[in-house]
Amino acid sequence: MAESAYAALEQRLGHVFKDVALLESALTHKSFLNENPQVRRSHGERLEFLGDAVFDLVVGHLVMERFPHGSEGELSIARAAIVNEAGLAQLGLELGLGEWLFLGKGEEQSGGRRKPSLLADACEAVVGAIYTEAGFPTTFTVVSNLLASRIAALDDPGYTDFKTRLQERAQSLYKETPRYTVLQEVGPDHAKVFQVSVTLGEKVYSTSVGRSKKEAEQRAAEAALFLLEGEDRSMT
């Protein structure tokens, strides 16, 4: 069996297409068909529509697992941080989708192979094609693998304001700026845990751990804020 002309792309995706024509449709911009009416192929817009829904569902599931105590609003913000034009365009660049796009001359000459909107659309269309061919479980695995590092890098939406709130409160009460110190890092690179302390003046208010330095700082800030607000109440 001859190797697919899209073997390099399929390797990056983690999926080998049985129906290569489906992948080619996903990679085809309508400008190409407008200029090449002899090509009997659909463009990728319908697959793009489908892939958009698949991305929302898969990423929604992944952020619920990542943040088991997140509210609906917080989870929506986390999902939107992944499923947006900029994020999908970056994924398209990493996959090298621009190399395989079928574009009309106008789009080609205007830099369409690196245009964020086209790369994001192509990402959605390719995922829509995988779903059409292989179903949801396979597509879930493909998308999960492609986005694993981005999901892991998300800050916990429930903690995003604590550092700001602590700084504002510390300035108001004591004219002090919180200082964060990494006390230790333990574990392998792919599963490292950070321990961080937060200090005001000469007093260590709290120490906390997290799966990233940012998460540990936010958790430490939350604990410190609780103590600081208790001190404020005792002063009144």
Q: What is the pLDDT of residues 189-231, one digit of tens each?
A: 877 889 999 999 999 999 988 888 888 888 888 888 888 876 6
Q: What are the backbone angles phi and psi of residue 14, rounded to the nearest 5°? A: 80, 25
Q: Tokens at residue 205, please?
A: 């208010």
CATH hierarchy code of domain 157-235: 3.30.160.20
**How does residue 7 score in pLDDT terms, banded at 50, 70 and 90?**
very high
* Predicted local distance difference test score (pLDDT) of residue 53: 97
**Nearest in space to 146 (alpha carbons), one of 60, 58, 85:** 58
User: What stretches of 69-115 show up as alpha helix (H) in DSSP?
Assistant: 72-82, 85-95, 105-109
Instruction: Count CB-CB contacts under 10 A for residue 165.
Output: 14
> pTM score > 0.95 for this model?
no
Instruction: Count CB-CB contacts under 10 A for residue 117.
Output: 11
Reduced to 3 states (helix: H, G, I; strand: E, B; else coil), residue 117 is helix
* Predicted local distance difference test score (pLDDT) of residue 159: 45
Catalytic residue positions, numbered: 52, 124
**Nearest in space to 208 (alpha carbons), one of 149, 171, 162:** 162
CA dihedral 88, 90, 92, 93 (to 10 degrees): 170
d(CA 108, CA 116): 14
Q: Where are the domains of the chain?
A: 7-153, 157-235
* Predicted local distance difference test score (pLDDT) of residue 49: 97
* Predicted local distance difference test score (pLDDT) of residue 1: 39
d(CA 116, CA 29): 14
Helices then strands (H, E): number in the chain? Answer: 11, 3
**Nearest in space to 146 (alpha carbons), one of 122, 114, 123:** 123
d(CA 200, CA 220): 12
- pLDDT tens-digit series, residues 143-182: 999 999 889 877 655 544 678 888 888 888 888 899 999 9
- pLDDT tens-digit series, residues 50-109: 999 999 999 999 999 998 888 887 788 788 888 988 889 989 999 999 999 999 998 888
Task: Give CATH superfamily name and number for 7-153.
Answer: Ribonuclease III domain (1.10.1520.10)
Instruction: Count CB-CB contacts under 10 A for residue 218.
Output: 24
Select the highest-mean-pLDDT range: 110-119, 123-132, 197-206, 227-236: 123-132
Reduced to 3 states (helix: H, G, I; strand: E, B; else coil), residue 221 is helix
Select the highest-mean-pLDDT range: 25-34, 137-146, 149-158: 137-146
String of DSSP letters for 121-176: HHHHHHHHHHHHHH-HHHHHHHHHHHHHHHHHHPPPGGGTTHHHHHHHHHHHHHS-
* Predicted local distance difference test score (pLDDT) of residue 2: 46
